[in-house]
Amino acid sequence: MVVRIGFLSLTDAAPVVVAEREGFFRRRGLSVRLSREVGWATIREKIILGELDAAQATAPMLWAIQLGLGCPACAVVTGLILSLNGNAITLSRTLLQPGSGGAPGVFKRPDRTLTLGVVFRYSTHYLLLREWLRGQNIDPDNEVRIVVVPPAQMVRNLEAGTIDGFASGEPWNTVAVQRGIGWCPTWTAAMRTDQVEKVLLVTRHFAESRSSEHAAMIAALYDACAWCEMPENRPALVEMLSQRAFLNLPPTVISPSLCGNFDTGQGVESVAHFHLFHGADVNNPKPETGMELQTQMARGGLVPRNTALAKSLFRNDIYETAVSARSVATGPGSAKV
Nearest to 302 by CA among 85, 126, 93, 80: 126
Neighbours of 20 (CB within 10 A): 22
Classify strands 2-8 and 54-58 as parallel, antiparallel or unpaired: parallel
For 53, residues 6+ apart whose C-beta sits below 8 A from its C-beta are 3, 4, 5, 202, 206, 210
Give the pLDDT of residue 332: 39
Give the pLDDT of residue 337: 41
Nearest to 62 by CA among 303, 305, 229: 303
For 265, residues 6+ apart whose C-beta sits below 8 A from its C-beta are 90, 93, 96, 176, 177, 182, 183, 184
Q: Give 308's DSSP letter.
A: -
Query: Which residues are bridge partners to 269 per DSSP?
Result: 262
Neighbours of 151 (CB within 10 A): 23
Nearest to 15 by CA among 215, 251, 277: 277
Reading the chain (337 residues) residue by residue, the pLDDT tens digits are 899 999 999 999 999 999 999 999 999 999 999 999 999 999 999 999 999 999 999 999 999 999 999 999 999 999 999 999 999 999 999 999 988 777 888 999 999 999 999 999 999 999 999 999 999 999 999 999 999 999 999 999 999 999 999 999 999 999 999 999 999 999 999 999 899 999 999 999 999 999 999 999 999 999 999 999 999 999 999 999 999 999 999 999 999 999 999 999 999 999 989 999 999 999 999 999 999 999 999 999 999 999 999 999 999 999 999 999 886 443 334 444 4
pTM of the predicted model as reported, rounded to 2 decimal places: 0.95
Measured distance CA(210)–CA(164) in Å, rounded: 45
Measured distance CA(266)–CA(181) in Å, rounded: 12
Q: Give 302's DSSP letter.
A: S
SS3 at position 78: strand
Residues 331 and 220: beta-carbon distance below 8 Å: no
Measured distance CA(74)–CA(300) in Å, rounded: 22
Measured distance CA(201)–CA(316) in Å, rounded: 13
The 10 Å CB-count burial string (b at 16+, else e) for 203-215 is beebbeebeebbb
Give the pLDDT of residue 294: 97
